[in-house]
Amino acid sequence: MSDTMSKAVLTTKLVSTYDDLPEQRYHFPRTYLRQVEAARGDWIVYYEPRRPSGDLMKTGGRQAYFATALIADIIPDPSKPDHFYALIEDFRLSIMPFRSRKRTITKAVYARRTAQRNKGAFGRAV
């Protein structure tokens, strides 16, 4: 385990364009490698967005945090360059709503001085 571990929220959709199997692996592009490496050996939370796929017109996802797990290791995807797998252990299903009393649970997605959503942080998959 690293001395610089940090928690992370991993987003996965019902119809993912990635090779995710949340109980075993999380598939992601190099863009998120540094964030996932920082969380290796530590707990993560899985988040399912409102949109169940990449189609911006569809809704149907739970928009909820649905599980916790540990990132055991990270390996390169042998079939897709610049992609990786986070290998998952201790997957625990635990559904928690995104909003509680009209406020989001994850305060990090909001700007500090305003109540507006920080779209830069919120729009990222990790």
Its domain, for residue 84, covers 8-98
Q: Write out pLDDT tens, residues 61-108.
A: 567 888 999 999 999 999 999 999 999 999 999 877 665 555 444 554
* pLDDT band, residue 124 (cuts 50/70/90): low
124 found inside a domain: no
> Is 45 inside a domain boundary?
yes
Provide the 3-class DSSP secondary structure of residue 43: strand
16/113 Cα distance (integer angstroms): 34
Q: What is the CATH number of the domain that holds 70?
A: 2.30.130
pLDDT exceeds cutoff 60 at 50: yes
Total domains in the chain come to 1
Q: Which residues contact residue 54 at a Cβ distance below 8 angstroms, ignoring those fewer than 6 apart?
A: 13, 15, 17
- Taking the C-alpha atoms of residue 68 and residue 83, their distance in angstroms, rounded to an integer, is 22
Contact indicator for 98, 105 with CB cutoff of 8 Å:
yes
Classify residue 106: in a domain, yes or no. Answer: no
| Mean pLDDT taken over the chain | 76
Does the pTM of the predicted model rise above 0.75? Answer: no
Of 101, 103, 106, 99, residue with least CA distance to 122: 106
